Amino acid sequence: MKSAVLVFPGINRERDMARALTLISGRAPAMVWHAETALPAGTDLVVIPGGFSYGDYLRCGAIAARSPIMDAVRAHAEKGGLVLAICNGFQIACEAGLLPGVLMRNAQLKFICKDVYLRVERSDTPFSRGYNAGQVIRVPCAHGEGNYIADAETIARLEAEGRVLYRYVSPEGVLDPAWNHNGATNAIAGIVNERGNVLGMMPHPENHVEAVMGCTDGRGLFAGLVEHVARAA
């Protein structure tokens, strides 16, 4: 799998992402500077990593969403190319119109860093085939603005079309406000676009990929992508 990790000023989880991709796909990603206007030829997966692009100033992701490279990313997505947008990447993708909705301040208005539990809602997508439907995974989150919000119709469509891939749940996999740490609508942690080739999610699977570090629940997401690309080829 040939992947490209976008680097915007203020992004800070690009190294974590590159390490995870290298570990699991066996191939180091290209690091692509925001001022570039094209992606490396043959890119299978574009990753918009986490961090604080442009300091999260104005609105999280707003400034990065308008940088030159994003036109190339839109084109890539329109051609059906895969885009994985994590945390600040999710915010950027929403601001760029790649995904619907917006990520607001966490309900309790605090930045929260802790392991959260996600229920994998379906396993028949490139972004979740590495898991079983209903499986609960534990991954860290680290954000102040992860509270997913969209108008009622959008939410209804997302649900009806099964575009919610990951939801905040209790360790037992039960929907429970107490485990929806940022207050997201319908405990939404990750969604895909209509076409299903762009995933935005707040938590950080890339930080749970090494057994020696205590948890590998994040691996499945990347392994699934690698498998998907391999089959497509």
Partner 1 sequence: MKARVTVTLKSGILDPQGKAIEGALKSLGVEGVASVRQGKVFDIELAGTDKAKAEAVLKQAADKLLANTVIENYRVEVTG
Partner 2 sequence: MPGLVPGIHGLAIEKKVVDGPDRRGHDAAAVCASFDYIRHMIPNEPRVTPELVAEHGLKPEEHERILKLIGREPTVTELGIFSAMWNEHCSYKSSKIHLRTLPTEAPWVIQGPGENAGVIDIGDGLACVFKMESHNHPSYIEPYQGAATGVGGILRDVFTMGARPIACLNALSFGDPKHPKTRHLVSGVVAGIGGYGNSFGVPTVGGQVRFHPRYNGNNLVNAMAVGLAESDKIFYAAATGVGKPIVYLGSKTGRDGIHGATMASAEFGADAEEKRPTVQVGDPFAEKLLLEACLEIMHKDCVIAIQDMGAAGLTCSAVEMGAKGDLGVTLELDKVPCRETGMTAYEMMLSESQERMLMVLRPEKEAEAEAIFRKWGLDFAVVGETTPTRRFIVRHRGDVMVDLPIKELGDQAPEYKRPFVDTPTLPVISPADVTPPMSTADALEKLIACPDLCSRRWVWEQYDHVIGGNTVQRPGGDAAVVRVNDGPKALALTADVTPRYCEADPLEGGKQAVAEAWRNITAVGGTPLAVTDNLNFGNPERPEIMGQFVGCVRGIGEACKALDFPVVSGNVSLYNETNGRAILPTPTIGGVGVLADFQKSATIAFKAAGEAILLIGETKGWLGQSLYLRDVCGREEGAPPPVDLATEKRNGDFVRELIGEGIATAVHDVSDGGLAVSLAEMAMASGIGAKLDASPAAAHAFWFGEDQARYVVTVAAARAGEIMARAAKAGAAALRLGVTGGDALTLGMERPILVKTLVQAFEGWLPAYMAGPDVT
Closest residue by Cα to residue 164 from 208, 119, 206: 119
**Residue 13 contacts which entry, partner 1, partner 2, none (Cβ below 5-8 A, type-dependent):** partner 2
**x/- track of binding to partner 1 for residues 135-164 (CB under 8 A):** ------------x-x-x-------------
Q: Which is nearer to partner 1, 25 or 67 (CB)?
A: 67
Buried b (16+ CB within 10 A) or exposed e, 15-31: ebbbbbbeebbeeebbe
Helices (H), 108-218: 152-160
Rounded to whole angstroms, what are the CA distances from 80 to 27, 31, 43, 83, 131?
22, 21, 12, 9, 22
Measured between alpha carbons, how far is 169 from 156 in angstroms, rounded to an integer?
A: 20
Q: Using CB under 8 A, pick the residue from 80, 110, 151, 162 that binds partner 2.
A: 110
Length of the chain: 233
**Distance between CA 100 and CA 110 in Å, rounded?**
24
Q: Which residues are catalytic?
A: 87, 204, 206
DSSP 8-state secondary structure symbol assigned to residue 58: S
Taking the complex as a whole, the smallest distance from the CB of residue 105 to partner 1 amounts, in Å, to 5
Q: Would you say 183 or 218 has its CB closer to partner 1? A: 183
Residues paired with residue 140 on neighbouring β-strands, in sequence order:
115
Residues in the interface with partner 2 (CB under 8 A) total 30
Stretch touching partner 2 by CB under 8 A, among 48-56, 92-100, 126-134, 163-171 = 48-56
- Binds partner 2 (CB under 8 A): choice among 27, 28, 38, 57: 57
Q: Does 15 bind partner 2 (CB under 8 A)?
A: yes
Given partner 1, partner 2, none, residue 80, with its beta carbon under 5 to 8 Å by kind, binds: none
Is residue 154 within 8 A of residue 101, CB to CB? The reply is yes
State in angstroms the smallest separation of the CB of 225 from partner 1. 28
At 23, which amino acid appears? L
Encoding tokens for residue 187?
């405990």
What would the x/- binding string for partner 1 be over residues 166 to 185, using CB under 8 A?
-----------------x--
- By CB under 8 A, name the binding residues for partner 2: 9-10, 12-13, 15-16, 19-20, 51-52, 54-57, 110-114, 140, 142, 144, 204, 206-207, 209-210, 212-214
